[in-house]
Amino acid sequence: MTQLTPQLRYLPNAQQQALWLENVSIQQLASQVATPFYCYSKAALLNNIHACKAAFEPENIHIHYAMKANSNLSLLRIVAEQGLGVDIVSIGEMHRALSAGFDAQDIVFSGVGKTTAELTAAVLAGVGQFNLESKEELAVLITIANKHQQLVSTLIRVNPEITVDTHKNITTGAKGNKFGVNFDDVLPMLVAAEHSPFLQVNGLAMHIGSQIHTTAPYLDAIAKIQTLISELKTQGYTLTQLDLGGGFGVQYKDHQMLTSNTGGSESDYLTFNDFSNAITSALADWQGRISIEPGRSLVADIGVMVSEITYIKESQPTSFIVLDAAMNDLMRPALYQATHALIPVQLPLQEQVPSTAQLNSYDVVGPICESTDTFAKSAQLPNDLAAGDLMCFLYTGAYCAVMSNSYNSRPIAAELLVDDDQAYVIRQAITQENLTAFEQHTALKLL
């Protein structure tokens, strides 16, 4: 069990064993940077990118990284250098993409609420593809394209009305979701777009949810969309592009991983190749362009979050591990009952897999004044843990640092990147001084 996640492992020394990410000791990082902090492995990120490219690019499927999963500029730069495009959902993300080195042409702009200001800025920057989410948005974009006499390439995001077996908060293609348009709305939108010499509708897009572990929902959605495309063809509209979105699931082992591998066996989880094979065979007859927008699957397993134990609070009926990390640093458990494997940074030499006698049951919580500030219930962790010990949350590369906030006036955690035996700060902590810099002791008069 030495290899925990890609590039993360326990290494023994004379007294104990301790966690290393690539060739950097987590403990040594913690002696330099205040906890909690995030730390990512460059090698793990590159491995994911290479695996994704190897699965999809030979099939001529274009990859756009959905940067909302992790938009740190240093990581984006690596993604851009590897030649991927990027999927954005706000103008802030566009600025990140451009400054990280992505070509505007390789940007896909998704999202249900793009404002006139955002659409205008993106058109003027030359963003390559707009995924439209409503006829109302189409009307606004036509006005902008005509006014600036700029060619604008769009796809219409449809809602394929697919139910997906994932947490209800991360389904996006079911009936009644706010995302995409109904199939019936596509034809009127194509008709409306004909009035603009500048706006082109080239195809259809979908994104059916996140953390999906089977190919079936993709295949169902693709079949429905193909039927729609054939019908539109009989009406005289030929569409040549398909964007299938992201959502490929990853394996989050839970907090019991020290004692058993309860996250399911590796073979229960699909790889990029599995998704690619399924998509390619479903679209064997398709002549046009295909693209995808993976987010989580490229970054979830590349990072850890490191935290220090503030107290071991012994009480009845529950004992608590109170960490210095909280829901503001890592929101997924509070937001969608996600579990992240949690392991000690140091273990005694003999305790590679502690026996049950050496384990205690703890609820693991943060210091924030909310009951949802709970990372794990009844976690089985070594009974010799003590205040001051370091703990590591695994699989915290996606939808973690990007969601951090300053609730309870807490600082925003730093992000680090390791590359072999080197470590870099890729986001400094946002401190109290930074956070209050925009507040006034004496109110600024506005009106």
Distance (Å, rounded) from C-alpha 91 to C-alpha 170? 22
Alpha carbon separation from 134 to 171, 191, 208, 240 (Å, rounded):
18, 14, 16, 20
Residue 87 touching ligand PLP (CB under 6 A): yes
Residue 97 touching ligand PLP (CB under 6 A): no
Please check whether residue 5 is in contact with residue 26, taking contact to mean a CB–CB distance below 8 angstroms.
no
From residue 228 to residue 247, the character string flagging contacts with ligand PLP as x (rule: CB under 6 A) and all else as - is -----------------xxx
Burial of 315 (0-12, 13-18, 19+ CB in 10 A): exposed
Residue 17 touching ligand PLP (CB under 6 A): no
Chosen residue from 110, 166, 291, 404 binding ligand PLP by CB under 6 A:
110
Please check whether residue 339 is in contact with residue 252, taking contact to mean a CB–CB distance below 8 angstroms.
yes
Q: Which is nearer to ligand PLP, 293 or 324 (by Cβ)?
A: 293
Please check whether residue 152 is in contact with residue 146, taking contact to mean a CB–CB distance below 8 angstroms.
no
* Letter string b/e over residues 117-134, b meaning 16 or more CB atoms within 10 A of that residue's CB: ebbbbbbeeebbbbbbbb
Question: CA dihedral defined by 63, 199, 159, 86, rounded to 10 degrees?
Answer: 20
Q: Which is nearer to ligand PLP, 17 or 210 (by Cβ)?
A: 210
Q: List residues with catalytic annotation.
A: 369
For residue 133, give the 3-state DSSP assignment: coil
Nearest-approach distance from CB 139 to ligand PLP, in angstroms: 21
Chosen residue from 128, 160, 217, 294 binding ligand PLP by CB under 6 A:
294
Q: Which is nearer to ligand PLP, 297 or 396 (by Cβ)?
A: 297
Chosen residue from 160, 295, 344, 397 binding ligand PLP by CB under 6 A:
295
Nearest-approach distance from CB 206 to ligand PLP, in angstroms: 9
Distance (Å, rounded) from C-alpha 342 to C-alpha 37? 14
Q: Find out whether the peptide bond into 36 is cis, omega within 30 degrees of 0.
A: yes
Chosen residue from 17, 41, 256, 297 binding ligand PLP by CB under 6 A:
297
Length of the chain: 447
From residue 178 to residue 207, the character string flagging contacts with ligand PLP as x (rule: CB under 6 A) and all else as - is -----------------------------x
Nearest-approach distance from CB 293 to ligand PLP, in angstroms: 4
Beta strands in 173-288 (DSSP E): 199-205, 241-243
Residues 20-79 within binding reach of ligand PLP (CB under 6 A): 66, 68-69
Chosen residue from 5, 7, 210, 276 binding ligand PLP by CB under 6 A:
210
Q: Which is nearer to ligand PLP, 210 or 380 (by Cβ)?
A: 210
Residues that bind ligand PLP (CB under 6 A): 66, 68-69, 87, 110, 207, 210, 245-248, 293-297
